[in-house]
Amino acid sequence: MSVRNRRGNPPVLKRFGQHFLHDEQILNRIADAAAPMPGDTVIEIGPGRGALTDVFARRPNRLAAIEIDIALSEQLRKKYAGNPKITIVEADVLETDIAALAEGSYVVVGNVPYYITTPILFHVMRAPFPRHAVFLVQLEVAERIVAPPGSRTYGALSVNLQAIATAEIMSQVPRTAFRPPPKVTSAIVRITPLADAIVTGEEAVRFRSFVQGLFGMRRKQIANVVRSVSQLTAAQVGDVLESLEIDPKARPETLSPVEQVALMRAVRLASDHDNS
């Protein structure tokens, strides 16, 4: 016999980061920000009880929703059984090939579970890219995503995301818009892939660890940081920085995504040259 709460829903599972939206205005705002074109598939991550799914059910695009909670998936499948545009996929989003599910152009939406926001962002932002990805995330994470170089919140997440996409905070969402309410304020963030990504798909994983290395020493001078994360001599590091017109005394936290990609490539080139 399945367990249900007093509203007839499966129990709230904290381990899956479940906070359900009930504010119609915010749900419409997320759907509007996703702005699917005719023919785009909407991929929804973590549909929960279907609050956002309902908004798209009234719109023309096909939607595939990925939900990990077995009880919620069953409930959703029954709910949308009569709607041929909607497919419910019971799976872990991080193990799902999103583009394959879309079968063509697509947008991604989701009030995503906060415990895996960053892995979801990087799982989604891969080629073939969605037209947009619109996520409801913690405000603090949204601020890190859009932060410019030199700002307090600029870090590895900002650089890695901005090397492949532009991002904008569409609006803030108060705790009261959810049941149960989370501890913190949230924000709708729209991410749009760059027509020409600064970093290639092949470089993405290496770039992430390079950036992690730089921000591990964000307040140190870049010349010393590059020496620590590479095998290059002080003179070689000096040459690399000079060729890129980067001040050796600059701090990693002031370098733009373009400069960090250029630095990774130049360090690699100098190291390869050394080893050949």
The residues that touch ligand SAM, with contacts defined as CB under 6 A, are 16-21, 46-49, 51-52, 66-69, 72, 92-94, 111, 113, 116
When the beta carbons of 68 and 229 are compared against ligand SAM, the nearer one is: 68
Amino acid at 30: I
Helix ranges (DSSP H) in the chain: 24-34, 51-57, 70-79, 98-102, 117-124, 139-146, 156-162, 204-215, 222-229, 234-243, 257-275
- Nearest approach, Cβ of 65 to ligand SAM (angstroms)? 9
How many other C-beta atoms can be found within 10 angstroms of the C-beta atom of residue 268? Answer: 14
When the beta carbons of 65 and 147 are compared against ligand SAM, the nearer one is: 65
Rounded to whole angstroms, the Cα distance separating 48 from 65 reads 9
When the beta carbons of 21 and 199 are compared against ligand SAM, the nearer one is: 21
| CB-based burial label for 38 (10 Å; 0-12, 13-18, 19+) | exposed
When the beta carbons of 125 and 240 are compared against ligand SAM, the nearer one is: 125
Q: Which residue has the tokens 């709607």?
A: 83
Q: Calculate the dihedral angle through the C-alpha atoms of 214, 215, 220, 223, rounding to the nearest 10 degrees.
A: 10
- Nearest approach, Cβ of 119 to ligand SAM (angstroms)? 9
Asked if residues 21 and 49 have their Cβ atoms less than 8 Å apart, the reply is: no
- Nearest approach, Cβ of 115 to ligand SAM (angstroms)? 7
Asked if residues 21 and 111 have their Cβ atoms less than 8 Å apart, the reply is: yes
| CB-based burial label for 23 (10 Å; 0-12, 13-18, 19+) | middle
When the beta carbons of 54 and 239 are compared against ligand SAM, the nearer one is: 54
Q: How many CA atoms lie within 13 A of 242 on its CB side?
A: 6
Rounded to an integer, what is the distance from CA 262 to the centroid of its chain?
23
Residue nearest to ligand SAM (CB): 46
When the beta carbons of 49 and 132 are compared against ligand SAM, the nearer one is: 49
- Nearest approach, Cβ of 152 to ligand SAM (angstroms)? 27
- Nearest approach, Cβ of 32 to ligand SAM (angstroms)? 15
**Distance between terminal CA atoms of the chain?**
67
- Nearest approach, Cβ of 187 to ligand SAM (angstroms)? 14
When the beta carbons of 92 and 103 are compared against ligand SAM, the nearer one is: 92
Q: Which residue has the tokens 């250029």?
A: 262
Asked if residues 215 and 207 have their Cβ atoms less than 8 Å apart, the reply is: no
When the beta carbons of 40 and 67 are compared against ligand SAM, the nearer one is: 67
